[in-house]
């Protein structure tokens, strides 16, 4: 009994409620003519699409910079990499890996500048980060128009310049990971092996990194910066590294998302992608200065599961479109819940 109690306490009521809600949705699905196998396949796919962006939250949480509300910087780096890869006509796996490679220098530069700023505003990182994200996306709205891209699949047809809002990657690297070793069962179920392997690889690398000397120092910086400093750790350097890694993972995350989704979305599209990533890691049980791989995986499955199942099941049930409302309530509610838990962290 006591074990159960402590388990519930550790896991947290919101997570348990969401878990049972999700299970309930799966149970209800067949009764409202929603195919279970298609739903599961969908959840797995969405998990793979989003997991790396959620993983991007981990380094900054660990180093005490809080939740990366400025993930947009990473997303934009990824978009730059993806569009450049198309511009250079890179196809297939080469195109996908090329996109990541091209995005890397941008993510390092943006991450470094972003870190410079965040190191000046310790304690207020999250608020500042949010505005950095918003303003950077707006700045890029101008850049997408004036950067000299020329690939006809990407630019506006009538003007011959300026990137379109949505660019298809169909002839380049669509489903390059999803279809790698994919297992198809029946008409509706596809197991996206390549995608999940890729996610697992990154989660494993992150797990390893947190166990190195640098990773250990980073965690200590997040846990108690004064302690870390007294032990000879350069606090600002650790924070900078964590922010650069987070930005890089944001870039990889959006490219993985695009190859699965099929389109590169530009302009204001990255804006609404940040909050779901934040919400997912919080649902997974991370606090604002502790996060683990388990938090990432559990959180992404729960959050994306909810997102997949609510439209199909609830809408069929209520005959009305509630999905967006529920999604917003859950994601923002979760962020709110986690931020109020901030005080529980001992100092």
Partner 1 sequence: MTNGSSLLSIEHVSKDFYGNVVLHDVSFDLHEGEILGLVGENGAGKTTLMRILFGMPVIMETGGFQGSIKIGGTEVHFSSPFDALDAGLGMVHQEFSLIPGFTTTENIVLNREPMRRTILNDVFGERMSVLERDKMRERAEKAISKLGVDLDPDMLVSEMPVGHKQFTEIAREIDREQTRILILDEPTAVLTESEAEVLLKTLKRLASEGIAIIFISHRLQEVLAIASRIVVLRDGHVVKDTVNENIGMRDVASWMVGRSLGEAGKRAEARNLGQTIFSVRHLWVDMPGETVRDVSFDVRKGEIFGIGGLAGQGKLGIPNGIMGLFPAGGEVTLDGKSVPLNDPAKALAMGMAFVSEDRRGVGLLLDESLEWNIAFTAIQVHRQYLKKMPLGLFSLRDEKAMEELCQEYVRLLDIKCTSTKQKAKELSGGNQQKICLAKAFAIKPRLMFVSEPTRGIDVGAKKLVLDTLHHYNRDFGTTIVMVSSELEELRSICDRIAIVDEGRIAGILPPTADISEFGLLMSGVAVEEAVNA
Residues that bind partner 1 (CB under 8 A): 208, 211-213, 216-217, 219-220, 223-224, 226-227, 229-234, 289-290, 345-347
Please, what is the minimum distance in Å from the beta carbon of residue 88 to partner 1?
30
The candidate with the shortest Cα–Cα distance to 271, out of 141, 161, 140, 134, is: 134
Please, what is the minimum distance in Å from the beta carbon of residue 213 to partner 1?
6
Please, what is the minimum distance in Å from the beta carbon of residue 343 to partner 1?
14
The widest CA-to-CA distance across the chain, in whole angstroms, is 69
The four Cα atoms 218, 224, 227, 233 give a dihedral, to 10 degrees, of 20
Tokens (6 digits) for 180 = 């790698």
In the bound state with partner 1, the residue whose beta carbon lies nearer, of 214 and 316, is: 214
In the bound state with partner 1, the residue whose beta carbon lies nearer, of 226 and 324, is: 226
Please, what is the minimum distance in Å from the beta carbon of residue 64 to partner 1?
11
In the bound state with partner 1, the residue whose beta carbon lies nearer, of 2 and 347, is: 347
Q: HSE of 226 in the Cβ direction (CA atoms, 13 Å)?
A: 1
Please, what is the minimum distance in Å from the beta carbon of residue 214 to partner 1?
9
Distance between CA 321 and CA 315 in Å, rounded? 5
Please, what is the minimum distance in Å from the beta carbon of residue 289 to partner 1?
8
* Cβ-based neighbour number of residue 203 at 10 Å: 19
In the bound state with partner 1, the residue whose beta carbon lies nearer, of 64 and 305, is: 64
Distance between CA 279 and CA 288 in Å, rounded? 11
DSSP string, 231-254: TT--HHHHHHHHHHHHHHHHHHHH
In the bound state with partner 1, the residue whose beta carbon lies nearer, of 181 and 345, is: 345
Please, what is the minimum distance in Å from the beta carbon of residue 204 to partner 1?
12
Distances in Å between the alpha carbon of 327 and those of 142, 210, 249? 30, 32, 24
In the bound state with partner 1, the residue whose beta carbon lies nearer, of 219 and 300, is: 219
In the bound state with partner 1, the residue whose beta carbon lies nearer, of 37 and 234, is: 234
The candidate with the shortest Cα–Cα distance to 255, out of 264, 247, 243, is: 264
């Amino acid at each position: 009994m006591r074990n159960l109690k402590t388990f519930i306490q550790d896991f947290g009521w919101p997570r348990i409620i969401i878990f049972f809600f999700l299970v309930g949705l799966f149970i209800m699905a067949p009764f409202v003519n929603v195919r279970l196998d298609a739903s599961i396949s969908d959840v797995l796919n969405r998990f793979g699409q989003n997991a790396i962006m959620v993983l991007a939250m981990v380094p900054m949480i660990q180093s005490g910079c809080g939740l990366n509300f400025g993930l947009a910087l990473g997303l934009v780096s990824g978009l730059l990499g993806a569009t450049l890869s198309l511009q250079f006509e890179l196809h297939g796996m080469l195109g996908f890996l090329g996109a990541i490679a091209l995005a890397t220098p941008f993510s390092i530069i943006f991450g470094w500048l972003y870190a410079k700023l965040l190191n000046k505003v310790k304690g207020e990182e999250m608020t500042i980060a949010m505005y950095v994200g918003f303003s950077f996306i707006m700045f890029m709205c101008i850049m997408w128009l004036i950067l000299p891209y020329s690939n006809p699949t990407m630019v506006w047809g009538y003007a011959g310049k300026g990137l379109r809002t949505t660019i298809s990657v169909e002839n380049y690297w669509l489903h390059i990971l999803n279809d790698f070793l994919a297992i198809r069962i029946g008409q509706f179920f596809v197991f996206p092996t390549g995608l999940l392997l890729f996610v697992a690889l990154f989660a494993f690398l992150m797990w390893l990194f947190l166990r190195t000397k640098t990773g250990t120092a980073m965690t200590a910086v997040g846990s108690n910066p004064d302690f870390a400093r007294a032990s000879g750790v350069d606090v600002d350097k650790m924070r900078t590294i964590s922010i650069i890694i987070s930005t890089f993972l944001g870039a990889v995350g959006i490219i993985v998302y695009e190859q699965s989704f099929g389109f590169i979305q530009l302009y204001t599209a990255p804006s609404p992608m940040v909050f779901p990533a934040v919400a997912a890691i919080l649902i997974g049980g991370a606090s604002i200065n502790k996060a683990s791989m388990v938090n990432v995986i559990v959180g992404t499955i729960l959050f994306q599961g909810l997102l997949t199942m609510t439209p199909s099941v609830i809408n069929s049930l209520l005959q009305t479109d509630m999905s967006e409302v529920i999604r917003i309530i859950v994601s923002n509610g979760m962020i709110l819940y986690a931020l109020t838990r901030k005080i529980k962290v001992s100092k």
